[in-house]
Structure formats: structure tokens, C-alpha cells
Chains A and B, each alone.
Chain A
Amino acid sequence: MARRAILVDVTRCVGCGACCEGCQQSNGHPPHEARGFDEQTFTYLVDRGNDVYVRRLCMHCEHPACASVCPVKALEKTPEGPVIYHAEKCMGCRYCMMACPFGVPSYEWRSSSPRVRKCEMCRHRGEKGPMCAEVCPAGATATGEREALIAEARARIEADPATYHPAIYGLAEAGGTCTLYIGPRDPVELGLPRVETNVPLPELTWRALRHVPDVAMFGGVLLGGLYWLTRRKEDVARVEGARKGRGDA
């Protein structure tokens, strides 16, 4: 598979919670009510009333802020789509949690050797793909190649414009994501995080960071030059002073 993605169709979701159960089972978490992201909850449903349920999970960004800010590459955007975590590399700075515009990563605050926790699209299941898509009885979660899912989403919207809001959430948000949403209303109205920018977030820090080599080089030359210049002045003063006595040579 080229690049795996997940399509959440909010109009089809019946709120049964099978995805949450499946997720907990797949990731070895004890069964529990999923109310928000935490170290044992990688997905949960938000009840928006009127039988509208919005599932939240990692967006698996195309240009993930979390992976770009990680100093040790503990978070990695794989070519296959999912953003995965390498606990053995992580030093626990939690910059990923600060940077994520979707508020996804959780931390094991009570552990003496804590890890960042989040959905990894069930990477341990390999080609079988994420459990949530497999167990969904209503077809509200589908998985497949990103481009194919986008085409599918467009087709559904086109076929039933009365039911669907035209926006595909995740197409451009923060530079595009591998978790995509279509639904009956505007995504922000549905409670999905408002991401102001369609510029990939890593670009924001890179704009500053790319000047580092220049600062180092020009800074070095400038400072070295100043050193040389002011020192020369000193040398001249010293030579002139040597007329009186030659103590300072």
C-alpha cells in the first residue's frame, strides 16, 4: 500500500463505540469508557447531539509538527502514512505535545519511565490496518490509500450534497493529514480543532532555523574581524607607548 489513510464519515457513525473498544483491545489497554485522549485512550467519540458523533484520533499529518520538533526523531512520519513513536529514543521533552495542533499526544505522567502515547494506526497489525476500521459496523471508518479515500470522500459528497458539508477536513489542514473527515456540518462546528493555517507547521520553525548556518558563518567572520580590528588599535597604541619605556612589548 502506498500511503495509508483513514476516512471518518461522521454521517454514517451511529455512536456504538466499537472503534474505541477495538482500539483498546488492539493496543492492549483494559476496556474502559473513552472520554478523551489519555495514555490508554487513543480514540474516543464526541457526542454532538442529534445522533451526531465525531470520533477523534491522531490525524497522522503529512508534515507532522510532532515529528519535526522532536530533537531525537522519536516520532517518525513513515512513508506508509502513520506517524509512529520510538520510545527508546525519546528523552521526554514533550515538545511534540506542545506542537501538535490537534492536541493528540498523551503522556504517562505517573510513570518513572514515561512514554508519549498516541494512535499509530495499529502498526503492529501490519497490512491488516487499523482495528477501528475493521470493527466499525456502520462503515463510518474506512481505511485505504490516501488518494483513493479522498476520491471516495468526494464521490460521497457529490452523490448526496444535501447530507454532506462540502469540506473534507484533513485535505489541507496543517498541510494535509492522513486522517480525513467528512460530515454533515462544517468541521469546526463539529468540534474538530480549528487549524488556522494550511501551511505545514514545520515550515514556521524552519523559517527561523534555516538561518543557523548563516548566523554561525557571518557571526564568526564579524567577531573575528572585530577582534582583529580592535586588537590592531591596541598594538598601535602599544608601539606608540613604547617610546617612553619598553615594558609592555
Chain B
Amino acid sequence: MREANDHTVRLGFWTVVSGFLLLALGIIAVIRFTRGIGAVTNLSDQFPWGLWIGFDVLCGVGLAAGGFAITATVHILHLDDFKPIVRPTVLTAYLGYLLVILGLVFDLGKPWNIWHPIIMWNPHSVMFEVGWCVMLYTTVLTFEFSPVVLERFRLHKLLGMVKTLTPVAVVLGVILSTLHQSSLGSLFLILPHKMHPLWYSPLLPVLFFVSALAAGLGMTVVESFFSRRVFGRAIETQVLDRLSRASVVVLSVYLLLRLRDLHVRDALRTLWPLTGEAWMFIAEVGLGVALPLVLLASERFRRSPGRLAWAHGAVVLGFVFHRLNVAVTSIEAATGQRYVPAIAEFGVSLGLVALGMWAFVLACRFFPIFPEKAKEAEPARDAVPAPIGGTPVAGAESGP
């Protein structure tokens, strides 16, 4: 296993690529805010939502779903085995939501009015509800992430207060997440005339929620795998194994719901002849749901962390496929309008991903995110820092 190289960022291939992407992000931002959205995107009156909504927003929110699932597991169900992954997962979720908001700043025509839902209410609008939930949940995530910062700066009094209130925050976080993860699906309920039957369904809110759970768990595993490669800190295989089994259950529920819904609506017959949409569907559900489901169900398969990461990577990819299929493929198919994102649209989406990775790496370097850090300083078993609201004394800070 590779040793941790805490204080250097490797100036390798990925550093250069991500630096380039961040530069592109800046340049595109300047053009977008001076010449309008039309100058950098292929969006049109017929295709008003594209890659930025489909990927940056829908996927960003969904991939951050691990945050509420894991905090609930640890702080509400009191399954303490999962404590070591709370911090990285909360960090991922927090960064995810911040990036979603940044993505919206690009996508909204008048982002300076983004706060308007606070005072201009329309409770009949799904977007209104999503806006409020995202706003509130980002606040909750700030709170849930705060112990890491408070610990770093040794503000123990505040830390104690945060610790006391954590269960309340977690309950709020779960409710808010359930609401807006599903509501992102409800957004599309009003488009029966604009969507392909393989993706339009009255069950969209439920499907969005369940698939977000799967993707959130998937991201947690994938990210722990990469964290190990970058920081040399492993999450116990046992935890990953239990997460994977949870994924099997969630994916099964999803697959069952999905197929049953398609069957009830008699939409499966649109799979034949094999059109482009049919292939997209097969890739999404076959490679992104069914295949990882089968693989993860096998105990032998789960023994290797590398294979686990690949299988969960497929889940995440399948999830991204689903969101893009809902937001783009299905609408293309039903309206006959073509939309291929412009280079600059890809630039922004990739730039935001690069930004998120940088933020993650930097946060891990400056804050006590991973438990192993504590282990190095203090080999005793009980020094594994209870992530949020746990023992305020984490390794490095416990010295003098």
C-alpha cells in the first residue's frame, strides 16, 4: 500500500489537466456573463435545459446523497461501524451542494436573483421547493461539516454545542434530502408531452430518490478508494463490504420499481426496434444497475477493494446516465429536437468537477477528515475520532 504523502500535491498529469480545466472555467465564465448564455451553449427555446441542469445540478445533488444516508446511519441508527466514513462523506456532500449552487450561477439567466424564492413564494412550484430544500440543506451541511473546522482551530466550547445539536441537524438533513432528491424527479412530472415513455413516469420522484441513494453509496465507496490511493488511508474493508451489501438492496429495490413501472405503463415495448433511446436505456439500466447489482451480490467479488470501486463506479455512471437520459435523451426523442452540448458546456461541467476534486484534496490536507490521521499520532483504538459530534479530541489536537 502506498504511503501517505501528506504535504505535497503531486504535480502530475491530473494536476496539469485540472489546472487547465479551471482556467477554461474562468474564461467561459467571463464570456457567459458578458455575452449571455447563448454565446457559450447550444441551448435554445426548444431545448432550454441542457448539460448544466442534467449533469451539474441533477447529478451533483444525487451524488451527494451519501451525506444524508451515512449521517443518518451513524447518528440516528447509531451504527457506529460507519463512523470513520462520516467525515469524507459529509465533505463530499458539502462540496457537491456548493458546486451545484455554483453550477446554477452559470445556468440561471439572472443568478443575482437566486435568492428570490426566499421572499417570492410559489408553493405550487416544484422548483420553489427544491430551491428551499437545497438552501436549507446546504446550511445543515455547513453545520454538519463545522466540527471538522472547529476541531482544527480548537474551539471546543462551540464544538460541544454543535455536538449537542447534531441529531436535530441530521434529522432535518434526512427530511430535506428526501424531499428534494425526489422533487428533482417531480420537476419532470409536468412534461408528459415532452418525454419518452422509457423515462417519463408518475414514479419519477420515487425513482430519483432511490437511485440517488444508490449513487450516494456508490460515490462513498469510489471516493474512499481514490482517497486511499491519494492519501494512503484505507477505509476498513468491512465497512465497504457492508456498504456494498446495502447497495445491493437499494439497487434491487430500484430495479424492481423501474421494471415494474415500465411494465405497468407498457413502455418496455418501445425498446424494440433498438433505437438510440433503447441503447441508452440498456446502457443505463443494464450496465449501471443490473450488472453491478449482480457483481456486488457475490461475496467473492466483494473481497477486492479495487473491484468494489469498479462496480460502484458503474453504479455512479449508471446514475449519471439516468439523469442525462431524463434531461436530454428522453426529451430529444419525444420532441425531435437535437441537442449536443457545446464545448464550453462540457468545459464548465468538467471544470466544476476539477474544482470539487481540488477542494476535496485540499480539505483533506488541512482538516482532520480521515481517521488514520489520528491513528498515526495516537495508536490507541479509541482515538479514532468520532466524526461529527463524536469525541472532540482527535489525534493531532489532543497533544498539549
Indicate, yes or no, whether A interacts with B: yes
A114 in contact with B109 given A38-B45, A220-B175 (CB within 8 Å): yes
Candidates B126, B193, B194; contact of A209 at CB < 8 Å: B126
Is A92 part of the binding interface, using a Cβ–Cβ cutoff of 8 Å?
yes
The interface residues of chain B lying within 8 Å CB-to-CB of A109 are 36-38, 41, 43-44
Chain B at the A interface: mostly helix, strand, loop or mixed? helix
Residues of B within 8 A of A98 (CB): 48-49, 190-191, 194
Chain B residues with Cβ below 8 Å from A207 are 189, 202
In the assembled complex, the Cα of A58 lies from the Cα of B76 at a distance in Å of: 51
Is A216's CB within 8 Å of the partner chain B?
Answer: yes
Cα A193 to Cα B46 in complex, Å, equals: 14
B window 167-181: CB within 8 A of A = 167, 170-171, 174-175, 178-179
**In the complex, A108 Cα to B107 Cα: how many Å?**
14
Return chain B residues, CB-CB under 8 Å to A50. Answer: none
A223 partner, pick from B33, B37, B76, beta carbons under 8 A: B76
Min CB distance B362 to A, Å, is 31
A90 touches B38 (CB 8 A): no
B189 engages A91 (CB within 8 Å):
no
Interface-forming stretch among A141-149, A178-186, A229-237? A229-237
Contact B110 A92 (CB under 8 A): yes
CA distance A229 to B116 in the complex (A): 40
Interchain CA distance A106-B189 in the complex, whole Å: 21
**A129 within 8 Å of B (CB atoms):** no
Are B109 and A92 in contact, with the CB atoms below 8 A?
yes
- State A70–B171 Cα separation when bound (angstroms): 29
List, in ascending order, chain A residues with CB within 8 A of B182's CB. Answer: 208
Assembly CA distance A196 to B334 (angstroms): 13
The answer on a CB contact under 8 Å between A69 and B36 is no
Min Cβ gap B77→A in Å is 5
Nearest CB of A to B103, in Å: 12
Residue in B49, B117, B191 whose Cβ sees the most chain A Cβ within 10 Å: B191
CA distance A231 to B74 in the complex (A): 11
In the complex, which residue of chain A has the Cβ closest to the Cβ of B122?
Answer: A73
Q: Of B127-135, B259-267, B285-293, which binds chain A?
A: B127-135
CB within 8 Å of B: which of A191-219?
193-197, 201-202, 204-209, 212, 215-216, 219
Contacts of B78 in A (CB 8 A): 227, 230-231, 233-234
* Most B C-beta atoms less than 10 A away, residue of A38, A101, A107: A107
Whether A23 is near chain B, meaning CB under 8 Å from some CB there, is no
A234 to B76, CA, bound (A): 12
Contact A97 B126 (CB under 8 A): no
Contacts of B8 in A (CB 8 A): none
* Residues B77 and A107 in contact, CB atoms below 8 Å apart: no
Of all chain B residues, which has the CB nearest A201? B190
Q: Is the CB of B76 within 8 A of A92?
A: no
A206 to B285, CA, bound (A): 28
A209 and B124 contacting across the interface, CB-CB below 8 Å = yes
Q: Does A226 contact B (CB under 8 A)?
A: yes
CA distance A180 to B202 in the complex (A): 30
Contact of B35 among A70, A110, A205 (CB under 8 A): A110
Report the minimum CB–CB distance from B196 to chain A (whole Å): 14
User: CA A197 – CA B191 in complex, angstroms?
Assistant: 11
Given known contacts A98-B191, A219-B174, is B45 in contact with A107 (CB within 8 Å)? yes
Q: How far is the CA of A69 from the CA of B117 in the complex (A)?
A: 12
Is B26's beta carbon under 8 Å from chain A?
Answer: no
- Residue B325 lies at the interface, judged by CB distance under 8 Å to chain A: no
Which chain B residues border A230 with CB–CB below 8 Å? 76-78
Does B187 count as interface, using CB distance less than 8 angstroms?
Answer: yes
* Max count, chain B CB within 10 A of own CB: residue among A37, A110, A113, A223: A223
A-B contacts besides A69-B127, A89-B113, A94-B109, 20 pairs, CB < 8 Å: A68-B124, A69-B126, A71-B116, A71-B117, A72-B120, A92-B108, A92-B113, A98-B49, A103-B46, A106-B45, A108-B36, A108-B109, A111-B36, A112-B35, A115-B109, A197-B193, A209-B129, A219-B175, A223-B72, A230-B78
Selected A-B contacts with CB under 8 Å, 25 pairs:
A38-B45, A69-B190, A70-B122, A73-B121, A90-B109, A91-B110, A91-B117, A92-B108, A92-B110, A93-B109, A107-B109, A109-B41, A110-B35, A110-B38, A112-B35, A204-B192, A205-B126, A205-B190, A208-B182, A208-B183, A208-B189, A209-B129, A220-B175, A223-B174, A231-B78
5 A-B pairs with least C-beta separation: A92-B109, A109-B38, A91-B113, A71-B128, A71-B127
